[in-house]
Structure 1
Amino acid sequence: MCMLAAARGTGSRLVKSSRIEVRSLQAYRMDADGRQQLLRLTSSATLSTRAGATASTAAPRRPSITPTTIPISYNSSASARLSQLNNHIPTAALRYSTSSSTSVSSNSNNKMSAQAEHPTVLIPGPIEFDDAVLQAMSTPSESHVGMPFVNVFGDSLAQLRQLFITTSPDSQPLILSGSGTLGWDVVASNIIEPGDEVLVLHTGYFGDSFSDCLATYGAIPTQLGAPIGSRPSPEEIENALKGKKYKAVTITHTDTSTGVLSDPKEVAEVVRRASPGTLVVVDGVCSVGCEEIRFDEWGLDVVLTASQKAVGVPAGLSIMMLSGRAIEAYKSRKVPPGSYFASLKNWLPIMQNYEAKKPSYFATPSPQLVRALNTSLTQILSVPLSQRFEEHKAASKKIKDAVTSFGLKQLASEERFQANGMTAVWLPEGITPADILPHTAKEGVVFAGGLHKQCATKYIRIGSMGVSVTKPELGHIDKAIDALKTGLVAAGYQLP
Structure 2
Amino acid sequence: MSQDDHILLIPGPICVSEAVREAQSIQSLSHTSPAFISIFQSALKDLRKLFKSTNEKDQGVVVAGSGTLGWDITASNLVYPGDNVLVLSTGFFSDSFADCLRVYGANVDVITAPVGDSVAISEVEKALASKKYSVITVTHVDTSTAVVSDIEAVAATAKKISPETLIVVDGVCSVGVENIEFTKWGLDYVLSASQKAIGVPSGLSVGFLSERAIKRALERPVQSSFFASLQRWLPNLINFEAGKPSYFATPAIQTVNALRVSLKEILEGGLDARFQKNKEVSQKFKKDLADLGISIVPVKPEVAASGLTAAYFPEGIDGAKFIASVYQKGVIVAGGIHKDLVGKYFRVGHMGVSALDPKLGHIDAAVRAIKEALEEQGFKK
1:168 and 2:52 aligned: no
1:204 and 2:91 aligned: yes
Which residue of 2 is the match for residue 278 of structure 1? 165
Cα distance in 1 for residues equivalent to 2:148 and 2:223: 31
CA contact (8 A) 1:250 1:281 kept: yes
Q: CA deviation at 1:491?
A: 2.8
Query: Given residue 94 of structure 2, which amino acid in structure 1 is its aligned partner?
Result: G
Which residue of 2 is the match for residue 119 of structure 1? 6
CA contact (8 A) 2:218 2:230 kept: no
Which residue of 2 is the match for residue 133 of structure 1? 20
Select the residue among 28, 34, 37 that pairs with 1:150. 37
Q: Where does 1:31-180 land on structure 2 (aligned, <5 Å)?
A: 118-180=5-67
Which residue of 2 is the match for residue 195 of structure 1? 82
CA contact (8 A) 2:147 2:303 kept: yes
CA contact (8 A) 1:432 1:458 kept: no
> After superposition, what is the alpha-carbon deviation per residue over 1:279-308, rounded to whole angstroms, capped at 9, x for unaligned?
110000000000000000111000010000
Q: Which has the larger radius of gyration?
A: 1
> After superposition, what is the alpha-carbon deviation per residue over 1:249-295, rounded to whole angstroms, capped at 9, x for unaligned?
10100000000000110100110111111111000000000000000
> After superposition, what is the alpha-carbon deviation per residue over 1:396-450, rounded to whole angstroms, capped at 9, x for unaligned?
0111001111122111000011000000001112324302011101110000000
Select the residue among 171, 177, 180 that pairs with 1:290. 177
Q: TM-score, normalised by structure 1?
A: 0.75
CA contact (8 A) 1:308 1:315 kept: yes
- Using a 3 Å threshold, how does the CA distance of structure 1 residues 145 and 482 change in structure 2: closer, same or farther? same
CA contact (8 A) 2:38 2:243 kept: yes
Query: Given residue 383 of structure 1, which amino acid in structure 2 is its aligned partner?
Result: G
1:185 and 2:83 aligned: no
* Other structure's SS at 1:168 match: coil
Cα distance in 2 for residues equivalent to 1:137 and 1:414: 39
Cα distance in 2 for residues equivalent to 1:446 and 1:293: 29
1:403 and 2:280 aligned: no
CA contact (8 A) 1:431 1:458 kept: no
Which residue of 2 is the match for residue 451 of structure 1? 337
Q: Where does 1:215-364 land on structure 2 (aligned, <5 Å)?
A: 215-333=102-220, 335-364=221-250
Cα distance in 2 for residues equivalent to 1:432 and 1:350: 51
Identify, as 1 or 2, the structure richer in helix: 2
Cα distance in 1 for residues equivalent to 2:92 and 2:190: 18
CA contact (8 A) 1:179 1:316 kept: yes
Larger relative contact order (CA 8 Å, sep ≥ 6): 2
- Using a 3 Å threshold, how does the CA distance of structure 1 residues 432 and 215 change in structure 2: closer, same or farther? farther
Cα distance in 2 for residues equivalent to 1:145 and 1:118: 38
Cα distance in 2 for residues equivalent to 1:371 and 1:222: 39
* Other structure's SS at 2:309 match: strand
* Other structure's SS at 1:365 match: coil
- Using a 3 Å threshold, how does the CA distance of structure 1 residues 440 and 358 change in structure 2: closer, same or farther? same
* Other structure's SS at 1:140 match: coil
Cα distance in 1 for residues equivalent to 2:378 and 2:132: 53
CA contact (8 A) 2:69 2:228 kept: yes
CA contact (8 A) 1:432 1:459 kept: no
* Other structure's SS at 1:309 match: coil
Query: Given residue 311 of structure 2, which amino acid in structure 1 is its aligned partner?
Result: V
Cα distance in 2 for residues equivalent to 1:442 and 1:270: 47
Cα distance in 1 for residues equivalent to 2:298 and 2:71: 25
Report the identity percentage: 48
The Cα RMSD (Å) is 1.3
Cα distance in 1 for residues equivalent to 2:318 and 2:277: 31
Q: CA deviation at 1:493?
A: 1.8
> After superposition, what is the alpha-carbon deviation per residue over 1:434-480, rounded to whole angstroms, capped at 9, x for unaligned?
02011101110000000101112000001000001111110111111
Query: Given residue 305 of structure 2, which amino acid in structure 1 is its aligned partner?
Result: A
Q: Following superposition, which runs of at least 4 residues in structure 1 exceed 6 angstroms of deviation?
A: none
- Structure 2: 5+ residue stretches without partners: none
Q: CA deviation at 1:133?
A: 0.4
Cα distance in 2 for residues equivalent to 1:191 and 1:198: 10
Query: Given residue 347 of structure 1, which amino acid in structure 2 is its aligned partner?
Result: W
Cα distance in 2 for residues equivalent to 1:127 and 1:423: 14
Cα distance in 2 for residues equivalent to 1:493 and 1:338: 54
Query: Given residue 399 of structure 1, which amino acid in structure 2 is its aligned partner?
Result: F
Cα distance in 2 for residues equivalent to 1:470 and 1:239: 40
* Other structure's SS at 1:349 match: helix
Query: Given residue 214 of structure 1, which amino acid in structure 2 is its aligned partner?
Result: L
Which residue of 2 is the match for residue 369 of structure 1? 255
1:489 and 2:375 aligned: yes
* Other structure's SS at 1:456 match: coil
Mean Cα displacement is larger for which, 485-494 or 215-224? 485-494
Cα distance in 1 for residues equivalent to 2:301 and 2:210: 31
> After superposition, what is the alpha-carbon deviation per residue over 1:147-202, rounded to whole angstroms, capped at 9, x for unaligned?
10011101100000000000202200010000000000001000101000100000
* Other structure's SS at 1:188 match: helix
1:213 and 2:104 aligned: no
Which residue of 2 is the match for residue 42 of structure 1? none
Query: Given residue 118 of structure 2, which amino acid in structure 1 is its aligned partner?
Result: R
Cα distance in 1 for residues equivalent to 2:28 and 2:166: 41
Cα distance in 2 for residues equivalent to 1:475 and 1:410: 22
CA contact (8 A) 1:196 1:220 kept: yes
> After superposition, what is the alpha-carbon deviation per residue over 1:75-116, rounded to whole angstroms, capped at 9, x for unaligned?
xxxxxxxxxxxxxxxxxxxxxxxxxxxxxx9xxxxxxxxxx9
> After superposition, what is the alpha-carbon deviation per residue over 1:214-253, rounded to whole angstroms, capped at 9, x for unaligned?
0011111111011100111111100010011111110100
Cα distance in 2 for residues equivalent to 1:256 and 1:117: 24
